[in-house]
Structure 1
């Protein structure tokens, strides 16, 4: 059973709500078993529907916007990607007191990879690079702007505020001065000088599925869009050990400036996530701590 506790203000869901929504809008699936899927995610509640489907219910308004984005773009992106992605089987509408769009997808097997416990880290790194390369090669017109895909400086205020918040949490033992130095170095590095590319924009371990140590699926495309290619370098620090990280970089042929932006973006996300999740979501907080350590070690700051 998941140990994560919800943040205040999230919409309540439950097996009964899912059954009523399905019965009202997809009667062909009435009677299938419904059960909550434990997840470290914070934006959506996930339910298994029978053996072959999953129901995704946003927990807040922002998540509802993500679902609509997935419903529009995933069917168009899927044929161009080397790994499985969620296949939309039903687009649900608000009903039964539930206020937002929701989705039914085909169930994708696999497990989330865990930093420090990868079976084939270098092969997984190459798989991830193949997925990122495929995303970057997409040329579909009319793309939305990826969530947090703009200039690195657009994250400056939020990142610095998170660092200051962590100064007040000494038990986390974060070297805030070192984190600040890494962030400021990245801000001084050259910015993006190439056109925006298609991005997943949230390549966290919880959005990856593996079997036998190899990448089989990428899920949760709610942040997708175009932006700085550095945004899809997250796995280098939130998942991969140093040898595999270097394999990932070589496979993508990442220049120093883009690598520095990617590292800083991953650090920024972790610094913001840690104080937010430390009391409510142990898996997200644990990964944030891992990222901070990985980044500071790579930069020689600790």
Structure 2
């Protein structure tokens, strides 16, 4: 199993003075929640998440007036015991993702058999562009790839069966309605053609010549095969990875992080599961879905496995993030060496 590096990190870097800004932004909408305990939860390229846990005084004195002053010593949370996730976009892409989730999830949630984020509110982002979101914690643990393997969850019958149902339900959402809700539509051929141009200019010079040739050849094979682009587009989550599947016991109890949702190639919803799990798991998943696991699908998944770290290298270069660039380059070199 190749170590792909963390798509989400627990090491959350927050700007100086973040806490009073966050509390003020929450208080403007839900003053009853503002005094709760705040702690970093995780971060990705596009957003940073905090956990908000309410205070519970020994001698409460009735509910807080919605527009009145907040006395933290006499606070009663209106949702006693409920913790919340606050997600703050880091850039314009993250802001657009949260805005899209706010429109899509209320309608999509009814099709899914497990809980997903249900936004309590969105409000102006005090740490960056757009709006941040607040939603009750979705039940379950977010486990690392290693934990999934160590606990034997890939071999349990429930997760693969549940995951198959989730993917099928997401893909069944009417594309026309997704467009009406402003879900972005991507053209994979156009996107990866542009990526190839950038890879030639920015990534190839960082690789040994033999690895560079393999990488360019992988892009060219994928782009030249019309069959890779024949299928009708569907709504896709576009970021189904093991850490986004919340676990309780041996069952999936939640699915999170719909910020990359788009209309695109339905096979792309397997692209992160492919390197995180194993070939047998993806084959079982396809069987549960009543879908083929054939040479074309495997070829697409192997290409996307290479394209993902190449994209990370580009992201690191564009945003002056040397750690992201170097981690992507190391993984890409490892994969290309194994491929050779």
Pick aligned residue for 2:241 from 201, 204, 226: 204
What's the Cα RMSD here? 3.4
Shift of 1:167: 3.6
Q: For 1:29, what is the secondary structure of its paired residue?
A: coil
Tell me if the contact between 2:198 and 2:314 (Cα under 8 Å) persists in the aligned partners: no
CA gap of 1:97–1:106, structure 2 versus 1, over 3 A, is: closer
1:150 aligns with 2:187: yes
Q: For 1:38, what is the secondary structure of its paired residue?
A: strand
Tell me if the contact between 2:105 and 2:117 (Cα under 8 Å) persists in the aligned partners: yes
Shift of 1:127: 3.5
**Counterpart Cα distance in 1 of 2:330 and 2:161:** 24
Q: For 1:143, what is the secondary structure of its paired residue?
A: helix
Larger Rg: 2
**Counterpart Cα distance in 1 of 2:141 and 2:210:** 33
| Partner of residue 88, structure 1 | 119
**Counterpart Cα distance in 1 of 2:101 and 2:16:** 22
TM superposition score normalised by structure 1: 0.80
Tell me if the contact between 1:113 and 1:209 (Cα under 8 Å) persists in the aligned partners: no
CA gap of 1:99–1:225, structure 2 versus 1, over 3 A, is: closer
**Counterpart Cα distance in 2 of 1:75 and 1:54:** 17
**Counterpart Cα distance in 2 of 1:186 and 1:82:** 34
Count how many residue pairs are aligned between Structure 1 and Structure 2.
290
Shift of 1:76: 0.7
**Counterpart Cα distance in 1 of 2:269 and 2:332:** 15
Tell me if the contact between 1:146 and 1:199 (Cα under 8 Å) persists in the aligned partners: no
1:104 aligns with 2:134: yes
The unaligned stretches of length 5 or more in structure 1 are none
Pick aligned residue for 2:96 from 54, 60, 65: 65
CA gap of 1:37–1:157, structure 2 versus 1, over 3 A, is: same
The higher-RCO structure (CA 8 Å, 6+ apart) is 1
Pick aligned residue for 1:38 from 36, 42, 49: 42
Shift of 1:126: 4.1
1:267 aligns with 2:306: yes
| Partner of residue 241, structure 1 | 278
1:132 aligns with 2:175: no
CA gap of 1:97–1:175, structure 2 versus 1, over 3 A, is: closer
1:250 aligns with 2:250: no
Shift of 1:23: 1.1
Tell me if the contact between 2:84 and 2:135 (Cα under 8 Å) persists in the aligned partners: yes
Tell me if the contact between 1:4 and 1:281 (Cα under 8 Å) persists in the aligned partners: no
Q: For 2:177, what is the secondary structure of its paired residue?
A: coil
CA gap of 1:97–1:181, structure 2 versus 1, over 3 A, is: closer
**Counterpart Cα distance in 2 of 1:156 and 1:274:** 16
| Partner of residue 31, structure 2 | 27
Tell me if the contact between 1:61 and 1:100 (Cα under 8 Å) persists in the aligned partners: yes
**Counterpart Cα distance in 2 of 1:294 and 1:125:** 26
CA gap of 1:159–1:237, structure 2 versus 1, over 3 A, is: farther
**Counterpart Cα distance in 2 of 1:241 and 1:265:** 15
Q: For 1:25, what is the secondary structure of its paired residue?
A: coil
**Counterpart Cα distance in 1 of 2:30 and 2:133:** 11
1:276 aligns with 2:315: yes
**Counterpart Cα distance in 2 of 1:269 and 1:245:** 18
